[in-house]
Structure formats: structure tokens, C-alpha cells
Amino acid sequence: MDILRTLALKGPLKPTLIMYKANLNYDLLKRYLDFLIKQGLIEERLAGRGGLVYSITRQGWALLKDWKEINGLLPIG
């Protein structure tokens, strides 16, 4: 969810920036990015100079919205 929130707030980002914002090491980041792509929640695109950036998809936005709603229903504590 941290990756999705980061991409929702900051827009398309390079993997290194996602790694720092989500506080992950590179191996975990790569696994999570692959998983999120396979689920259709993020997409990988080529940016200028052939670099890769990742952005959230409509499905990713929908999941974030639902997650926020579910979290609001859960009791704190």
C-alpha cells in the first residue's frame, strides 16, 4: 500500500525514489513492483533517456480508495 500511496501522491517515479519513499530495500521493491504490475495496480513506462518510471493505474486508484474506506471502518486500538 505504501508504494501505491507514494505513486498516487508523487506521480510517476523512478524505482529509486519509490524505494526511499516506501522505505524498502531494492530486492523487496523489485518483488513488490512485479507483483503490483501483474495485478494491474501499477504500470511501467519508459521515460526520457530510456529510464523506467512507475505509475498507478485506475485499478490501483480504486484499491487505494477501498483500502481507505475499510481502514475507516476498523476500530482503532
- CATH of residue 8's domain is 1.10.10.10
pLDDT above 90: residue 77: no
Task: Write the CB contacts of 59 (distance below 8 Å, at least 6 apart in sequence).
Answer: 39, 40, 41
Domain of 28? 2-70
- Residue pair 43/54 in contact (Cβ under 8 Å)? The answer is yes
Read off the pLDDT of each residue in 4-10 and give the average, rounded to a whole number. Answer: 94
What is the reported pLDDT for 74?
A: 81
The 3-state DSSP class for residue 10 equals helix
Number of domains in the chain: 1
Structure pTM? 0.86
In a domain, 18, yes or no: yes
In a domain, 37, yes or no: yes
In the structure grid, which three cell numbers stand for residue 72, read together? 475507516
In a domain, 76, yes or no: no
